[in-house]
Amino acid sequence: MSKSFVISVLKDDYKVCRMNAFEGIPDWVLDTPLSSITRTAEELSIVCPNSVAPDQLKCEQVWKCLKIHGPLGFDEIGIISSLTNVLADADISVFVLSTFNTDYILVKRLNIDKAAKVLSEKGHELYFD
């Protein structure tokens, strides 16, 4: 078996929102416990709790967030693939975020119980916040 991880399922539901690339970063995203902001030449993508994003935005919802407890080293190989392969084998799609300290995997809320089950069966410790 590969390395096992401690994983928390965060309590909030999340959205993945798309804005125009030239738009400024909105104030509503700055005071959230977890958000991710990525700008490219084509778009501004924001991952944030469902409760903060305005309804008129183009968003994909509803996601649950799995936090892999770290910190994880930049030289550690295969962390994301070892977890996402398990989820892919169970037909669970994912959206992945990484920070300096750790990684987060978002799965659709309707799949969270199945995701928790298959990850637990592979030896990972899951906790619901």
Q: Which residues contact 128 (CB under 8 A, 6 or more apart)?
A: 8, 9, 11, 116
The answer to whether the CB of 7 falls within 8 A of the CB of 125 is: yes
Residue where the block lists tokens 């962390």 = 79
The mean pLDDT of the chain is: 94
The answer to whether the CB of 129 falls within 8 A of the CB of 13 is: no
Q: Give the Cα separation of 119 and 86 in Å (integer).
A: 7
The pLDDT value recorded for residue 73 is 76
For the whole prediction, is pTM greater than 0.75? yes
The answer to whether the CB of 71 falls within 8 A of the CB of 52 is: no
CATH level 3 topology of 6-128 = VC0802-like (3.30.2130)
What is the tens place of the pLDDT at every residue in 50-104?
999 998 999 998 999 999 998 777 777 778 999 999 999 999 999 999 999 999 9
The pLDDT value recorded for residue 78 is 74
Question: What are the extents of the domains in the chain?
Answer: 6-128
